[in-house]
């Protein structure tokens, strides 16, 4: 895959390209809700001390951090040619 910063328009070969990076926010939001729900269920089921709640919260935040890193690797780059107005997408890394 060629470097995104060296992209040129496939239709007019112009190098004037507007680049926007995005991640799948719906997927991230749903994974966030599921992870917080699982952490809350574990915390309620264990009926532990405040230290247990702290460790469960830290563990959940670490898992969410790892999920965010995985989604960053698969982010989508939207490109738009400033000369002809052509739009296309490039998916980063796999």
Q: What is the pLDDT of residues 62-82, one digit of tens each?
A: 988 888 888 877 777 888 888
Query: Contact 57/42 with Cβ under 8 angstroms?
Result: no
Q: What is the pLDDT of residues 33-67, one digit of tens each?
A: 888 888 888 888 888 788 888 888 888 889 888 88
pLDDT bin (cut points 50, 70, 90) of residue 83 is confident
- Mean pLDDT for 19-40 is 82
Please count the residues of the chain. Answer: 94
Output the pLDDT for position 4. 46
pTM of the model: 0.57
Say what angle helices 25-46 and 50-73 make with each other, to 10 degrees.
Answer: 160
């Amino acid at each position: 895959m060629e470097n995104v910063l060296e992209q040129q328009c496939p239709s007019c070969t112009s190098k004037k390209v507007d680049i926007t990076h995005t991640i799948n926010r719906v997927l991230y939001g749903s994974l966030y809700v599921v992870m917080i729900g699982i952490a809350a269920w574990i915390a309620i089921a264990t009926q532990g001390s405040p230290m247990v709640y702290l460790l469960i919260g830290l563990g959940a935040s670490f898992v969410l951090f790892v999920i965010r890193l995985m989604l960053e690797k698969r982010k989508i780059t939207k490109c738009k040619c400033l000369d002809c107005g052509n739009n296309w997408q490039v998916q980063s890394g796999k």
